[in-house]
Amino acid sequence: MADQGGSQHGIARTSRVRTEEQKRRDLERIAKYRELEDQVRAHIARGEYAPEVFQLTSKLLRLNPEYYTIWNVRRRCLISGSFSRPLAGSSCLKASSSTSPSATTTTSSTSCSSSSSAATRPAPGSPTAGTSGTTADPAAISTTPDAPGKEDSAATAAAAETQDLSIIKSELTFTIPLLLESPKCYWIWSYRLWILQQAIARLRPAVARRIWEEELGLASKMLGKDRRNFHAWGYRRHVVQQLESATLEGSSMVEAEFAYTDKMINTDLSNFSAWHSRSKLIPRLLDERGADDAARRAFLDKELAQIRNALNVGPEDQSLWYYHQFLILNLVAPEQHPAMTLNFTREDRVAYLTREIDEIKELLEDYDDVKLIYEGLFEYTLYLCQLEERQPDEIERADLVAWLGKLKQLDPMRNGRWADLEKEYGLKE
């Protein structure tokens, strides 16, 4: 299975023979670690999720943030004691708020919170799961004074929110150093999202919103350290989705997110993650701007100019070519990618594509040994014929044969692919 936690990446191979001193140190660390683990397990076995256990999980997770069961113990501690009230099904809250439990008809079960054995826990498919379960557990309500006055209950609610807010903030702080040290650890990211989901379930929307807003800063910080970290990109997407949602009284952030891709691309043209994000944002961006045909065309012109300039500097960069392909798909596959070329005529498409092919041919004057240029020319020329519903003419055919020859010469690793193309398009000399 695809779980990379715990595997060694990029650590130099050293002699695996340890000195006596190293062995002794290892044994000490093991003893300390296992003692901590034993303490947590003893509490769990007794069904205890007290503050003391919570403190132990902090220690253990600092030593080993990959230990997912301990993150779960920490959640159970919060649900069963620290938070102001348990939520029905709160142990099963989805990271995504889009889920609804009503569609399920699977086995019923008892309350999710603070049961002593993980073995009997219900899965999210159970009726207690999902985010609609935000009403207080009756058992919890019964612990508040009988028939409280209005002011009392308002004060109680305010105190509860203060308590929950403080826990949520403290948990977010706890995970920061762990994330900085293990930025690719799935479990930390997922725990953090769970805490944020608690903010939605337990705090007033305006208060929860302020918590979520700060997460954009974290995503930017993590992407500043590693521009391609797909955990951080995914986290950013999720945070933005939530901030845009009605739950957090939000509105579209597509302009700001698009500007963010600009910023990331300007820092590093080779950042495909940013180009990818751009490709996903553009359709929404144009719709929300209410862009008419002319505006869409102008937008495409600007994107093409930008990527062409970039290709002039770095024609060997795959990231740039992939984005260029995305733009070209808007011309040749409008049924899948209509955003920028919705009302283009066939003549428009042909004119644009022809111009791109000519521009790429000009690249050859400066770079005659970059295989991606020949690959682009080959592909786009075939697209052109496809658009015009015709076979390549004599000149094009000669070009295709020549470019394929260059590809074989410059990129023999992929000879099997070049051979397939040669056969498919009848280009054998």
Partner 1 sequence: MSQSFTQLPEELQLATSAHVKYIQSLDTRKDEYDYWLTEHLRLNGLYWGLTALHLLGHPDALPRAETIYFVLSCQHESGGFGAAPGHDAHMLSTVSAVQILATVDALDELETRGKGKAQVGQYIANLQNRETGTFAGDEWGEEDTRFLYGAFNALSLLGLLDLIDVDKAVNHIAACANFDGGYGVNPGAESHSGQIFTCVAALTIAGRQDLIDKERLGRWLSERQIAGGGLNGRPEKKEDVCYSWWVLSSLEMIGKTHWIDKDQLIAFILRCQDTEKGGISDRPGDMVDVWHTVFGVAGLSLLRYPGLQPVDEVYCMPKSTTARLLGR
User: Rounded to the nearest whole angstrom, what is the least distance from the CB of residue 280 to partner 1 in the complex?
Assistant: 6
Contact positions with partner 1 (CB under 8 A) in 216-235 = 228, 230, 233-234
CA distance 181 to 425: 52
Stretch that binds partner 1, among 176-184, 209-217, 267-275, 397-405 (CB under 8 A): 267-275
Residue 14: phi, psi to the nearest 5?
Answer: -120, 175
Q: Rounded to whole angstroms, what are the CA distances from 164 to 150, 199, 203? A: 21, 8, 8
**107 in contact with partner 1 (CB under 8 A):** yes
Helix residue ranges, H only, 314-339: 318-332
**245 in contact with partner 1 (CB under 8 A):** no
Q: Which of 62, 210, 263, 280 binds partner 1 (CB under 8 A)?
A: 280
Tokens linked to 398? 């000669």
Query: In this complex, which beta carbon is closest to partner 1, that of residue 170 or of residue 415?
Result: 415
What is the DSSP-derived secondary structure letter of residue 136?
B
Q: Reduced to 3 states, what is the DSSP secondary structure of residue 87?
A: strand
**242 in contact with partner 1 (CB under 8 A):** no
User: Rounded to the nearest whole angstrom, what is the least distance from the CB of residue 408 to partner 1 in the complex?
Assistant: 13
Q: Which of 113, 261, 277, 381 binds partner 1 (CB under 8 A)?
A: 277
Listed in order, strand segments (DSSP E) in 170-245 are: none
**428 in contact with partner 1 (CB under 8 A):** no
Tokens linked to 68? 């997912």
Q: Rounded to whole angstroms, what are the CA distances from 396 to 16, 203, 214, 231, 393? A: 60, 65, 55, 44, 5
Stretch that binds partner 1, among 206-214, 253-261, 325-333, 345-353 (CB under 8 A): 325-333
**121 in contact with partner 1 (CB under 8 A):** yes
Number of residues that bind partner 1 (CB under 8 A): 89
Stretch that binds partner 1, among 207-215, 276-284, 360-368, 395-403 (CB under 8 A): 276-284
Q: Which of 81, 125, 127, 183 binds partner 1 (CB under 8 A)?
A: 125
Tokens linked to 335? 């049924």
Neighbouring CB atoms inside 10 A of 201's CB total 18
User: Rounded to the nearest whole angstrom, what is the least distance from the CB of residue 294 to partner 1 in the complex?
Assistant: 24
User: Rounded to the nearest whole angstrom, what is the least distance from the CB of residue 73 to partner 1 in the complex?
Assistant: 9
Contact positions with partner 1 (CB under 8 A) in 48-77 = 63-64, 66-69, 72, 75
**408 in contact with partner 1 (CB under 8 A):** no
User: Rounded to the nearest whole angstrom, what is the least distance from the CB of residue 160 to partner 1 in the complex?
Assistant: 23
User: Rounded to the nearest whole angstrom, what is the least distance from the CB of residue 8 to partner 1 in the complex?
Assistant: 4
Amino acid at 132: S
Contact positions with partner 1 (CB under 8 A) in 76-95 = 91-95
Give 246-250 contacts, CB < 8 A, sequence gap 24+.
247/97, 247/200, 247/205, 248/200, 248/205, 248/208, 248/209, 248/212, 249/205, 249/206, 249/209, 250/209
Contact positions with partner 1 (CB under 8 A) in 343-402 = none
